[in-house]
Amino acid sequence: MNFKFKKYNYCSSNVPEHLVTYDYGVDYDSLNRSEIALFEINSYIWTSQEVENILNGINSIINEDFRYSVEGGALLMLIDKDEAHLFSLRNGSKKKADIIWPTEKFVKFLKEFQEFLQKNER
């Protein structure tokens, strides 16, 4: 996939390092226009274990959708065995997903994101 992941620091430069909180997610500049909503996945909460929990949830789908939204992020994920529907929560409530991917593609994205988090000791 062509996604680049990034660790964001939104604190001012005079905040002591031990107090800095980072967001982990997708580099905005690496997204094409049709996938811009994916930037809303960025959050300070992400860990590789959190991604593993989502992957386990997706793997356990039988007849119902798997629904997930990370704390601190603004992306709602509704996933069934065939498709992943991603909604930016910044756009208000709407019925049409901002991004619809085959579930297989979304799983691949999550695995790459998980690898990025592991490299950043998250």
pLDDT score for 39: 85
- Name which residue leads in pLDDT, 92 or 23: 23
Confidence of residue 18 (pLDDT cuts 50, 70, 90): low
Q: What is the Cα–Cα distance from 113 to 91, expressed in whole angstroms?
A: 24
pLDDT score for 16: 64
Neighbouring CB atoms inside 10 A of 85's CB total 19
pLDDT score for 102: 94
